[in-house]
Structure 1
Amino acid sequence: MFSKKLYLLLVLQALVMLAKAQQRPQYTQYVFNNYLLNPAVSGIENYTDVKLGYRSQWTGLEGAPVTSYFSINAPIGTNFVQGDASAFPSSGGEYPQSRLYTQEYRASEPHHGIGFNVVSDKTGPITQTNLNATYAYHLGITSKLNLALGVAAGFSHLNINTALITLENANDPTINNLQASQWKPDLGVGIWAYSGNYYVGVSAQQILPQNLYITTGNSANQSKTVPHFFFTGGYKFYVSDDISLMPSALIKFIEPVPATFDVNLKMSFRDRFWLGGSYRKDDSFAVLAGFNLSSFINVGYSYDITTSALRTVSNGTHEIVLGILLNNRYKLTSPQHGW
């Protein structure tokens, strides 16, 4: 009986979040894939970047959020793909953005980036799937600084499995009048400034306002999508020839809830493996680790320790990300701009 009440409470919380608060999934390892938050990151690396991610939030709690995603993005532009502004040979030789390349970093040649991502987020009976194609244009605004402008466009599909919802009144019009499956257009934009050892980004998701759960009666309110704004930045510096540190932060603005933020610190050893920690305001602490297994594959894992009221019923949050580096002509073992 207790578990059923807790499940219903979680369902109601999910409905409230969709109506008035955060309507997109959150990630602990967004630093590993900023492309999910900002379309301007499309084509930032000199290879085709593929990511597969899975996040199980508040494990142990029935109906808790589960998020999975697939993303791919790649650069377009001969000057960039065949080398970069550092004028290294198009094949062979050392990649101009290898370790410690920040000492002689030069902005990349102007180029385009394209990509695609699909994100599925399920909470109780509610499943939201977002499919977006992305485009970005990268140009050098100084000899050491690039600016990228990006756009994401696609569709959002929202589905409510009403069979999983049991109410005291089986004829409650709030449930019976719901349009359980909906497709809506989706649009996002972003700006990304980056150099050899830092980045700053601003993006907006879900900027087209849409009604959700349209009803045929007057007894239930319509909920609406709200824009999500993200401000993020990071800085990389070397402690030694082998060890680098990167502090970073993310601030989220989602009306009408108060602004929230994440702060992170990641330590990398020779770009082969990394460890990190993260804090999300009023929500969790997290530990992160990753291994760059080869020039073809890398993997990251994080575990969130819940600090909110849900800590009494949650076993924490697990998130794993698998990265695949296709067309990796310089045999990099680590992202150079994603860090």
Structure 2
Amino acid sequence: MRSLTYSNYKFSVVAAFVLGLVTSSVTSVRAQLNPLASQYFQNQYLFNPAMAGLNKGLNINLAYSKQAFGVDGAANVQSASADYQMDKVGLGVNLYNQYSGVFRTTRAMVTYAYHLPLGGDNQKLNFGLSAGISNNHLNIGDVYGDQSDQTLANYNNKGTSVDGDFGVAYTSNKLTVQGALPNLRSLFKDNGSTVDREVFFTAVSYQFFDPANVSLEPKVAYRQVKGYTNILDAGANVAFSNNQFCLQGIYHSSKSATFGAGFNMAAYSVLAFYTANTSALNGYNNGDFEISLKINLSKK
């Protein structure tokens, strides 16, 4: 009887771990289906290392996202990046951290970019390469049950792995065409993550009208997520009075939509976003919320 009780307890611990793993995967998949909204217009360096150092001065970006709001243990994401322009060279640092229940994903990258001038209208051909480390970790201290269970320890034994991103872009005062290969390690070897990562990204945008008054920048992006249906994003950024106030809207083919609004001053900008649920999750939570801050230390 005692042996049976212990076996049942052991099974409960393993079952709880597997359930937590599945729950983490669902909320982590949401992070891939609905990435940080600030990376579409405010901080494109998050999507593409070729965009590091594209703008003059030292640019610092901070973002926080709470996903599946109202669901206990749902993912929350913190991002911090800094990039600096040195003539034709861009240097950057990109930090990403995601908590999802008892699971944590951390990524730290350094970036080198080169911006080759092509002619008038500020035309450039941009290349960027990021290299760094990524780690998927289980917080055993937050697990309810037998924390000495080997199943839990085995998950953390995978340790930290080397990773990287590569990107290219053509940019001008009006047109931007770009493509990126994020998470390069996953192209050659499974890194043991519970998350099916993005493996390809491309986007095209064009700015209309006079930025001094009203400007409209529509954008179409295509994202390939390993193990999931490819995603098409289509939206626009509308800015008023030299971009002092902006409105953003993006529809995702995953059947969700992102809406944002914010203001831009000479040296900083603040935006807030709301992403509606994917159709499969309607009625279960209140969507995703994000706030982002950008600071340019070259402006006064």
Call closer, same or farther: CA 1:8–1:239 in 2, change over 3 Å: farther
TM-score, with structure 2 as normaliser:
0.83
Aligned match of 2:65 in 31, 55, 69?
55
State the 1:208 CA deviation.
1.6
State the 1:22 CA deviation.
7.3
Aligned pairs, number:
281
The residue identity in structure 2 corresponding to 1:55 is S
Q: Structure 2: 5+ residue runs without aligned partners? A: 1-14
Q: Name the CA distance, whole Å, in 1 between partners of 2:216 and 2:207.
A: 6
State the 1:283 CA deviation.
4.2
Q: Which residue of 2 aligns with 1:218?
A: none
Call closer, same or farther: CA 1:327–1:299 in 2, change over 3 Å: same
Q: Which residue of 2 aligns with 1:201?
A: 178
Q: Name the SS of the counterpart of 1:312 in structure 2.
A: coil
- 1:22-101 matches, cutoff 5 A: 26-30=35-39, 31-77=41-87
Q: Name the SS of the counterpart of 1:29 in structure 2.
A: helix
Aligned match of 1:251 in 194, 218, 222?
222
**Structure 1 residues 169-178 or 47-56, which shifts more?**
169-178
Q: Name the CA distance, whole Å, in 1 between partners of 2:256 and 2:247.
A: 17
Deviations along 1:100-126, one digit per CA (max 9) or x if unpaired, are: xxxxxxxxxxx1110101110111111
Q: Which residue of 1 aligns with 2:258?
A: 286
User: Does the CA-based 8 Å contact 2:256-2:276 persist in structure 1?
Assistant: yes
Aligned match of 1:160 in 130, 138, 144?
138
Call closer, same or farther: CA 1:313–1:23 in 2, change over 3 Å: closer
Call closer, same or farther: CA 1:185–1:73 in 2, change over 3 Å: same
Q: Name the CA distance, whole Å, in 2 between partners of 1:272 and 1:236.
A: 16
State the 1:198 CA deviation.
1.4
Call closer, same or farther: CA 1:179–1:10 in 2, change over 3 Å: closer
State the 1:264 CA deviation.
1.4
Q: Name the CA distance, whole Å, in 1 between partners of 2:277 and 2:250.
A: 12
Call closer, same or farther: CA 1:124–1:25 in 2, change over 3 Å: farther
The residue identity in structure 1 corresponding to 2:37 is T
User: Does the CA-based 8 Å contact 1:57-1:317 persist in structure 2?
Assistant: yes
Q: Name the CA distance, whole Å, in 1 between partners of 2:74 and 2:92.
A: 29
State the 1:193 CA deviation.
0.6
Q: Name the CA distance, whole Å, in 2 between partners of 1:35 and 1:163.
A: 35
Between 1 and 2, higher relative CO (CA 8 Å, sep ≥ 6) is seen in 1
User: Does the CA-based 8 Å contact 1:50-1:73 persist in structure 2?
Assistant: yes
User: Does the CA-based 8 Å contact 1:288-1:302 persist in structure 2?
Assistant: yes
Once superposed, what is the RMSD of the aligned Cα atoms?
Answer: 3.1
State the 1:177 CA deviation.
2.9
**Structure 1 residues 146-155 or 271-280, which shifts more?**
271-280
Q: Structure 1: 5+ residue runs without aligned partners? A: 78-110, 214-221, 332-339
TM-score, with structure 1 as normaliser:
0.74
User: Does the CA-based 8 Å contact 1:212-1:224 persist in structure 2?
Assistant: no
State the 1:171 CA deviation.
8.6
Call closer, same or farther: CA 1:16–1:65 in 2, change over 3 Å: closer
State the 1:247 CA deviation.
0.7
State the 1:277 CA deviation.
1.1
State the 1:7 CA deviation.
11
Q: Percent identity at matched positions? A: 26
Deviations along 1:306-334, one digit per CA (max 9) or x if unpaired, are: 13222212111111111111022xx5xxx
State the 1:275 CA deviation.
0.8
State the 1:286 CA deviation.
2.0
Q: Name the CA distance, whole Å, in 1 between partners of 2:195 and 2:292.
A: 31
After TM superposition, the runs of 4+ consecutive aligned structure 1 residues lying more than 6 A away are 5-8, 20-25, 169-172, 222-225
Q: Name the CA distance, whole Å, in 1 between partners of 2:25 and 2:117.
A: 44
Q: Name the CA distance, whole Å, in 2 between partners of 1:184 and 1:121.
A: 16
User: Does the CA-based 8 Å contact 1:7-1:63 persist in structure 2?
Assistant: no
State the 1:28 CA deviation.
1.7
